[in-house]
Structure 1
Amino acid sequence: MSANHLQPVPADDRRALRSLLGQFATGVTIVTTRAADGRKVGLTANSFTSVSLDPPLVLWCLGNNAPSMRDFLTAEHFAIHVLAEEQNSLSQHFATPSADKFAGVAHGETTEGVPVLHGTLATLLCRQHDRVEAGDHVIFIGRIERFDLAGGAPLLFHAGQYRSSAPHPARAA
């Protein structure tokens, strides 16, 4: 494809932009924290990536209109849970509004009071390191303080659907 075939960004067509950006497959995470009033807060996010190994930094993004925005802005710590391929229902559970998203979900909490989910591929306990306002989102940058790594096959999200990973055919041979 030559540069002549590139189209301008559709300013008034959010669906087209979502479809475009949805072509990038991502892992699926659940981010949790403890609100200032003691409530356990959690949400599904696929906007997670590593930033730096030294110091150990990661980031995730939250929409400005998210009901839990104030909770994450005031939290000192948060946990990021990387989901396994069979945890799509857990992802959906935390993506759906609910008075208590932790009811019936196996979890514990850190000494800092952050809720941590049981049975995920990895859990990263992070201290707020920085926040950056960017468009209609806030980028939360966390410094990893502690982690748990179980490993396994990840839950993926691509083109608006949950997906499973598989070894690349060239590697399978």
Structure 2
Amino acid sequence: MSPVRFAAGDYRHALGQYPTGVTVITARGPDGGKIGVTANSFTSVSLDPPLVSWCPSKTASSLPELENATYFAVNVLAADQHHLSRRFATSAQEVRDKFEGVAIRAGIGGLPLIEGAVARFQCRTVRRVEAGDHVIFIGEVQNYDANGGEPLVFHSGTYHIVTAHPGQ
């Protein structure tokens, strides 16, 4: 049976109808350098043990460094941090230092943790699974904090803010 093929733009548009939170995944490379990429593929996998996942593209320039990192952090961005989403979505070749001017503190293994995020999960990579044109990273949460606030949401190609449903 041959794989099903869709028009890439139409398929991406359909997937974009599912709203997601926006995160910046951070890590330390083998040389100690800071790594940061925007991702909206973050999800909870298990409560016991506490596992989460995210999925970078196989073509991501930072993938080799991410694959060699023992730990990664998921920084769930606040609504007022959309500029960070854009900054960390750019290629490392386009921006000299993605972290320049970004308020961070050190987490486990020196992980860069973004200040002002509504939640942060510090994870040890326990498994990577190749899946099509992406790699699924599964991490066991070692520590977390949830400061709360309004999260940044991405839907149908644009950023949104969350509002309570009037029917509640």
TM > 0.5 between the two? yes
For 2:123, which of 98, 122, 126 is the aligned residue?
A: 126
Does 2:75 match 1:78? Answer: no
Question: What pairs up with 1:24-103 in 2 under 5 angstroms?
Answer: 24-97=18-91, 98-103=95-100
Which structure 2 segments of 5+ residues have no match? Answer: none
CA contact under 8 A between 1:10 and 1:16: conserved in structure 2? no
Aligned length: 163
Q: Distance in 1 between matches of 2:41 and 2:6?
A: 23
CA contact under 8 A between 2:21 and 2:152: conserved in structure 1? yes
Q: Using the aligned pairs only, state the percent identity.
A: 49
> Offset of 1:74 from its aligned partner?
0.7
Secondary structure of the corresponding residue to residue 13 of structure 2: helix
Partner of 1:135: 132
Secondary structure of the corresponding residue to residue 38 of structure 2: strand
> Offset of 1:10 from its aligned partner?
7.5
> Offset of 1:133 from its aligned partner?
0.4
What is the one-letter code of the residue matched to 2:58?
N
Which structure 1 segments of 5+ residues have no match? Answer: 1-8
What is the one-letter code of the residue matched to 1:164?
I
What is the one-letter code of the residue matched to 1:76?
T
CA contact under 8 A between 2:121 and 2:144: conserved in structure 1? yes
Partner of 1:162: 159
What is the one-letter code of the residue matched to 1:46?
N
Partner of 1:4: none
**Segments of 4+ moved more than 3 angstroms:** none
> Offset of 1:12 from its aligned partner?
5.2
What is the one-letter code of the residue matched to 1:168?
H
What is the one-letter code of the residue matched to 1:79?
A
Q: Report Cα offsets for 1:125-161 as digits up to 9, x if no partner.
A: 0000111100000000000001111001111000110
> Offset of 1:99 from its aligned partner?
2.2
Bigger radius of gyration: 1
> Offset of 1:11 from its aligned partner?
2.2
CA contact under 8 A between 2:108 and 2:122: conserved in structure 1? no
CA contact under 8 A between 2:73 and 2:120: conserved in structure 1? yes
Does 2:13 match 1:19? Answer: yes
Relative to the length of structure 1, the TM-score reads: 0.91
For 1:114, which of 99, 111, 132 is the aligned residue?
A: 111
CA contact under 8 A between 1:31 and 1:78: conserved in structure 2? yes
Partner of 1:5: none
What is the one-letter code of the residue matched to 2:55?
C
Relative to the length of structure 2, the TM-score reads: 0.93
Q: Distance in 2 between matches of 1:16 and 1:153?
A: 30
> Offset of 1:70 from its aligned partner?
0.5
